[in-house]
Every structure is written in C-alpha cells, then in structure tokens.
C-alpha cells in the first residue's frame, strides 16, 4: 500500500496551538518541508472533517485541580529539554514530534481537540521531570502503535532500538480501563508489572499518560467509565507513583480520582478547607514571617512555602483517625528548603525554640530515609498558645532532597556526554538504594513464577495504602514494610532465596516468635537453613503479598509431593483390601477416562481427598463392587451377633459376641475379647477405657479376618458452622466416601456452630481415617472426632 510522506521537521504551530482550528485546516498545506520518513496510516482515515465529532457533553464540571496546561509547541518542547540537557539530540525530538502529529491525523479526543494534543501534553509532563530525550520521544510516540497502523518495527527503523523498546513496553500495557471482572483486572495488572520492570521509564510514560487523561476525564460522557478509570487510578497508578517517589504525581492522581469517586466528600472537604483558610490566614502569615525572620537571624539561606493539605489526604486522615473535619488540626503544611543537610537540623532547632512542638509528630527521614529514598525532617507545631490553636506540619529538606522528592526515581537519571552515548542513552544511579523499586522486581518475579495474579492484585492493593514501618538489617540497610509485617516479610523483602531459607529471626538481638510484629526502627537478623521447613499457616500471618504468594507456592509444591505419595498408598490399599491386583498401567488408563492427564494428577487428587479410592477401583474393576452395598452386613455395637456373623479369630466355635459400645472397634485395630456374665464375648479395642476395669487374665487376644461384605457402625462428632447447606454437604461428603449414615442427631446448637453426632458405616479403620480426613478438609467443618465413651 502506497503511503504519503509526513512533515519532517516542523508542524504548523497555529494548528497545534488552536485545536479547534486544527480540525478545519488538515490537508496538504501542512506538508511544506521535504519529507524525511514514511507517514503511518491513520486508523481513522477516510473520515472527513465534517464527520469529526465535537466535544462530548458530560454531566460533570471539570475538577478544580489538575487543569491541563496549554499545548506545548514543537520549539517550546525542544527548549524545555535543552534547559536541563544541553547535549540533547534535537533531531530525535523534532522527528518524533512531527511523526506523531501525522500519525494521529484526524483522530480526535472526547474534548473535541486533535488527538495529538494528548501525546504532546504527556511529553511536556515528563520534560517537567527532566527526563532524557529518548523518554520524551517515547511519550510523543506512545500511542501510534496502539491507535494507528504503525508497527514497532517501523518505530525501530526510524527511531532506534531504545525508543522502539519503550514504545513497545507502553503499548503492551492495556490502555483499557480496569475490567469489571477480577480476572481481567489481574491480567492487566500482571501485564503492567511485566512491562514496567523491563525499564522503569515505561512506568514513567504510563504515569504521565494517566495523569493527562485524568486531567481531561470530565470530557468522558459515561459516568460509569469515568468511575472505572478513577478507581483504577486510585488503586494502581497513584500507589505506583508513590513507590517510585514522585509525590506530585501521586497527590494529583489521588485528588483527581477522589473527585470522581466521592464527589460529595470532595466538595464538603474543599469547602471546609476554604473555611479554615479564611479563619487561619493571619496565623499562617505570622508563622511564615516569624520563620523567615528567625532563620535569617541564624544566618541560614532558606526558601519557605505554605500550602493547604489536599482533599484526599484530609479525607484519608479522617477515616484513619475516625474524626470529623472540625476535629482535625493539621490542615496547613509548610516546607522549608535549605542549601544542605546541616542547615536542615539548624532550622529544626529554630522552629522548636519558637513554637511548641507536638509530641509524637516528629520524623527524621534524613537519618532514616524511606524505602523510595525520600529524605526530609517532619515536625508539627502549634501556631499559637490558644487551646484551640491550629496545628501546622513543617517539612525541612535540602535542595537536593527536594528535587528527589519532587521527581522521585527520575531524579536519579544521569545523562552521559553525547559523544559517549547513543542518542538519548541514560543510566540510573542510586537504584540499589531503591527498596520500593525492588518491590516491582519482587512482584515481577512472582508473576513470572506463575503466582496467582488475582491474589497478587488484591494483596498489592492492601500493601499500597497500609501504613509503613521501616526496619534495618544488621548492616544498616533500610527495608520498608506494611504495618503488621513479621520477620518472614522482612526476609522475602531482602531476597526470595533468603525468604525460602528462613527458619527464624532475631529482633534487636532477641529471638522472637514467627508471629511477632515488627516495629519502626527494629534491627532484624534472619536465621537461615538450606532445609528450612514451612510450618502450616505461615502465609496467614505474613503481611506482604510477595511473602504470601511465595509461601503458598512452596506449600503447594511440597503438598503435591505429599499428596502424590498419600494417594498412591490409598489406592494400593484399596486394591489390597478387595484382593485384586494393582496395575499402574490400568490405573493410568482409568485416570484418562476420569479426565486426568495421567497417573500423577490422579494420585494427587486422591491424596487431596478430591477423588475417592472406590471411584478409581470402580473404573479399573467395574463389576467388582456391584451389589456389595446391598448385601453388606451392618454390625452395630452392643447387639449380640449370631455365631459366625463376624470373621474373628480366637473365639471358641459357636460362641456369641458383641462389640463394645464405648470403643466400637474396627478391622485394622488390635482387639481383645472379654467374657461377660451372660457367657458371650465382648470385643474391645486394646486402648478401650472399659478394659481398665478388667483383669488382663480374662482377656483373649483376637484377630480380624478379611470380610469385604461387612460394615461396622462407628460414631463421629462433627462440629459445623451454621451455614445454609452444611448438613447436606456433610451427607454428600460421606456418600462420596462410601460411608452410609446410620443415624444423625444435632446437639449443642449455638449461634455460630452446631455439633452433629453421626453414626456411619465403614469397612475398617483405614476407611474411617479417609472419611475423617475428608471431613476435616471441608470448609463447613470446624472439627471432626471419633466418639469415645458411652453416650
């Protein structure tokens, strides 16, 4: 297909600066300079200007925050980047700008603006973070593969491998909002993490992309679509911005999402902030002036800024502290920026000499940085001596710390001299200290290892908004963890291999239980072993998603081995009990007929008690048990049995017998007989409590004979939760395991639990053991025990 040529070096500035005029001025007049590369095909090609829709009508006004700035012209974007990277590849930016402009052609946004205004705005947002030219070019091109006929190979040919790799990474992250179904959301999250961890610049472009889309979300006409987009932003994008330290992205994304998710709360808090602002303006001005004067007296050069807390930050604090807006005190925040670290502590002394410090509100993130490398001193003071004085939070940081706080991981990009690098090449310094960036690495390892991405998404959401604690390794490395974390979380945060070999931990030099919750400032030493066990339930008290997922995976792997061995023993025992030969090949064929891929999955299912041994037996020997149940003799304890009714060795010929009602013995258990006053023998288990009162001289050793036609009545006590269908479920489970119900009574019914006293028919002790294991594995069952003693 023949393609037209794009404008190579410049774009008509009037078209970009005036979006509404641009839609009317498309055409060959824009191609004034000799072309440089093939233009991409526009997926909207064929539409006339008359068919381009105007701005969408919505029922929501634009948010009072995050207004989209004016479009940045081509030369302005180049100058923005040149200001922090004098050696930039200007040709790369110019070519990407023009190529994207032509690629998007007549495509329009819901606002009625040309689509090209979006990638240009994304590029400008990233230029504000002082990112490298390759990332800026990626921002300009980030939608051309998704929304036009351009391929990644074309991008590689025109702009090089690095740009193509980044554009491909952004493209692979689904551009659709979070699906309504959890599986779809989890799949998108997994794609996001996998693409991001290959190069963090993919995440930076995607965050800027989402930020501009949220700034213009009021143009989207469907309320439900706006809500889904805002929810995904709040749950995924804003926390990821925090993780990589870009606080201004996080704050704006949170507030914009809050505006759409809880509009009434947003409006109420905004009005409250305006009301407090009008009342406290004099106190704020006084504090600013006093701080400036006192700091100047100390000979410190400082910049002082004041600002109100953001709406979402206030709302979250109200929820956490369960307070009304009027009960909050720290509405205002001040920021003092000084030349160096030493001056930070000097300013702290000035503040505490002049204002009353509020106990418990001091944090030194300079000596102990947050895991995302955030460094600052936080304190809080009262603005006056009045009992109802307004509280103010003050942050003190150096200029370098401020840049790192504003730009996050982007502040760690180093630009090599152009003569020593390929176009746009960068390197990341200090990333070894980015423990929260390691969270991304740990998460991608979980995804690649086949972890449950739905669980991963849910645990990630919990971690994102849970308060954090900061602990240390014995060598002083800081590890950030969610509140409630334990030592196993700490171990997996260090490295997967350390977590896998964890056997215990010393906290501040003292050996602590595995359930011990860590606190801020704890020094944690992990104890390790190559053959570390995994006690059951560890994942229940782990707090981090990475630890939970890894523990569950290890438990599953070890359980599969145990289940296979158990299943094999159960099947072999079933064949021995019915006196038929066991053939692995025959069982393998039976497994395929039952829907399993082979012998191993079947044995594991039997070991998990999902498949009964009799089901396998019936598949291999279909006629073996036909009519068995109809002719099965149910032997009840306490009742006298006719001679020969039970195959037991050791009794004299013609002797009558009965089974003890207390212990109810079963084939497979050691038994003895005791002659009663009526002359018949009573059969007991060797551990029966009734035997304690009998003279051993009166005992007669007995032994079972194999009798596949016999069934023995035993009693079990099953405690179940009072949920609909519980008793029916127990009945179905017993039927599945070939244990007929002889009698059932409900006792000790409470609000949440009930005791079921059930008499069941089983073949032998092994059969009962399988039934009990199945009962204990049911979600309805709290406990299941064999009844001991007389009723």
Q: Which residues are catalytic?
A: 146-147
Query: Which residue matches tokens 């794609």?
Result: 191
Residue with tokens 């952004």: 170
CA dist., res. 38 & res. 5, Å (int): 5
Buried b (16+ CB within 10 A) or exposed e, 52-75: beeeeebeeeebebbebeebbbbe
State how far the Cα of 347 lies from the Cα of 342, in Å rounded to an integer.
Answer: 9
Is residue 213 a contact partner of residue 372, using CB atoms and an 8 Å limit?
no
State the chain's maximal CA–CA distance in angstroms.
119
Which residues are bridge partners to 336 per DSSP? 304, 396
Number of Cβ within 10 Å of residue 32's Cβ equals 12
Q: Cα–Cα distances in Å, from 300 out to 285, 348, 404, 465?
A: 20, 12, 21, 37
For residues 211 and 214, what is the distance between their CA atoms, to the nearest angstrom? Answer: 5
Count of beta carbons in the 10 Å neighbourhood of residue 204 = 29
Nearest to 169 by CA among 148, 147, 200, 140: 200
Question: Which is it for the CA torsion 133, 138, 144, 150, positive or negative?
Answer: positive
Alpha-carbon distance of 257 to 36, in angstroms, equals 42
Give the CA distances from residue 704 to residues 647, 648, 668, 740, in Å, rounded to whole numbers and listed in that order: 6, 5, 7, 22
In the three-class reduction of DSSP (H, G, I as helix; E, B as strand; rest coil), residue 669 is classed as coil
How is residue 244 written in tokens?
Answer: 């990589």
Distance of CA 412 to the CA centre of its chain: 27
Reference 791, options 703, 647, 685, 662; nearest CA is 662
| Residue 585, number of CB atoms within 10 A of its CB | 8
């Amino acid at each position: 297909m023949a393609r037209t040529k794009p404008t190579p070096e410049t774009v008509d500035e009037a078209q970009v600066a005036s979006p509404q005029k641009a839609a009317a001025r498309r055409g060959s007049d824009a191609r004034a300079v000799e072309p440089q590369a093939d233009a991409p095909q526009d997926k909207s090609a064929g539409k006339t200007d008359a068919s381009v829709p105007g701005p969408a009508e919505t029922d929501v006004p634009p948010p009072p925050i995050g207004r989209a700035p004016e479009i940045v012209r081509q030369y302005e974007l180049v100058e923005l980047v040149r200001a922090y990277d004098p050696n930039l590849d200007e040709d790369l930016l110019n070519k990407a700008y023009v190529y994207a402009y032509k690629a998007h052609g007549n495509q329009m946004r819901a606002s009625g603006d040309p689509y090209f205004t979006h990638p240009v705005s994304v590029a400008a947002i990233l230029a504000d973070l002082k990112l490298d030219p390759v990332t800026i070019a990626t921002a300009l091109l980030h939608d051309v593969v998704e929304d036009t006929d351009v391929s990644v190979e074309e991008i590689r040919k025109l702009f090089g491998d690095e740009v193509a790799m980044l554009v491909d990474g952004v493209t692979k992250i689904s551009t659709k909002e979070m699906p309504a179904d959890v599986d779809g959301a989890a799949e998108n999250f997994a794609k996001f993490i996998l693409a991001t961890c290959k190069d963090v610049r993919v995440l930076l472009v995607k965050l800027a992309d989402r930020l501009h889309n949220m700034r213009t979300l009021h143009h989207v006409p469907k309320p439900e679509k706006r809500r889904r987009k805002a929810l995904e932003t709040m749950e995924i994008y804003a926390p990821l911005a925090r993780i990589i330290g870009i606080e201004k992205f996080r704050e704006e994304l949170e507030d914009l999402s809050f505006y759409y998710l809880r509009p009434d709360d947003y409006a109420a808090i905004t009005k409250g902030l305006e009301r407090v602002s009008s009342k406290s303006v004099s106190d704020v001005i006084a504090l600013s002036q006093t701080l400036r004067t006192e700091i100047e007296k100390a000979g410190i050069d400082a910049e002082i800024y004041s600002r109100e807390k953001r709406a979402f930050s206030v709302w979250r604090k109200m929820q956490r502290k369960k307070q009304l807006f009027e009960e909050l005190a720290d509405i205002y925040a001040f920021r003092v920026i000084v030349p160096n670290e030493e001056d930070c502590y000097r300013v702290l002394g000035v503040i505490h000499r002049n204002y009353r410090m509020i106990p418990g509100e001091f944090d030194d993130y300079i000596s102990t940085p947050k895991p995302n490398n955030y460094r600052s001193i936080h304190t809080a003071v009262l603005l006056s001596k009045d009992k109802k004085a307004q509280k103010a939070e003050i942050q003190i940081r150096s200029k370098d710390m401020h840049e790192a706080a504003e730009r996050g991981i982007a502040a760690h990009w180093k630009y090599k001299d152009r003569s020593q690098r390929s176009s746009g090449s960068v390197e990341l310094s200090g990333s070894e200290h980015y423990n929260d960036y390691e969270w991304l690495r740990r998460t991608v390892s979980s995804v690649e290892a086949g972890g449950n991405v739905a669980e991963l998404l849910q645990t990630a959401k919990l971690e994102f908004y849970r308060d954090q604690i900061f602990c240390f390794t014995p060598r002083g490395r800081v590890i950030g963890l969610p509140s409630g974390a334990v030592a196993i979380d700490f171990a997996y945060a260090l490295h997967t291999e350390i977590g896998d070999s964890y056997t215990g931990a010393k906290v501040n030099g003292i050996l602590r239980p595995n359930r011990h919750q860590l606190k801020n400032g704890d020094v944690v030493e992990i104890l390790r072993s190559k053959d570390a066990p995994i006690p059951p339930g560890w994942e229940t008290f782990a707090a981090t998603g990475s630890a939970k997922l890894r523990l569950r995976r290890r438990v599953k792997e070890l359980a599969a081995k145990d289940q296979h061995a158990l299943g094999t023993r159960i099947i072999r025992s079933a064949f021995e009990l019915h006196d038929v030969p066991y053939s692995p090949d025959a069982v393998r064929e039976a497994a395929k007929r039952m829907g399993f891929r082979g012998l191993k999955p079947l044995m594991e299912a039997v070991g998990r008690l999902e498949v009964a041994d009799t089901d396998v037996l019936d598949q291999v020997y279909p006629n073996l048990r036909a009519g068995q149940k109809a002719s099965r003799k149910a032997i009840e304890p306490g009742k006298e049995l006719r001679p020969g009714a039970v195959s037991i060795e050791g009794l004299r010929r013609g002797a009558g017998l009965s089974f003890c009602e207390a212990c109810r013995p079963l084939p497979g258990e050691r038994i003895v007989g005791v002659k009663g006053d009526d002359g018949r023998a009573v059969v007991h288990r060797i551990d029966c409590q009734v035997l304690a009162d009998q003279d051993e001289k009166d005992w007669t050793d007995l032994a079972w004979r194999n009798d596949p036609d016999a069934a023995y009545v035993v009693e079990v006590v099953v405690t179940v939760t009072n949920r609909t269908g519980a008793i029916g479920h127990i009945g179905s489970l017993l039927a599945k395991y070939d244990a007929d119900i002889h009698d059932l009574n409900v006792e000790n019914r409470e609000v949440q639990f009930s005791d079921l006293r059930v008499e069941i028919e089983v073949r032998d002790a092994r059969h009962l053991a399988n039934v009990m294991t199945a009962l204990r594995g049911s979600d309805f069952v709290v406990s299941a025990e064999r009844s001991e003693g007389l009723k």
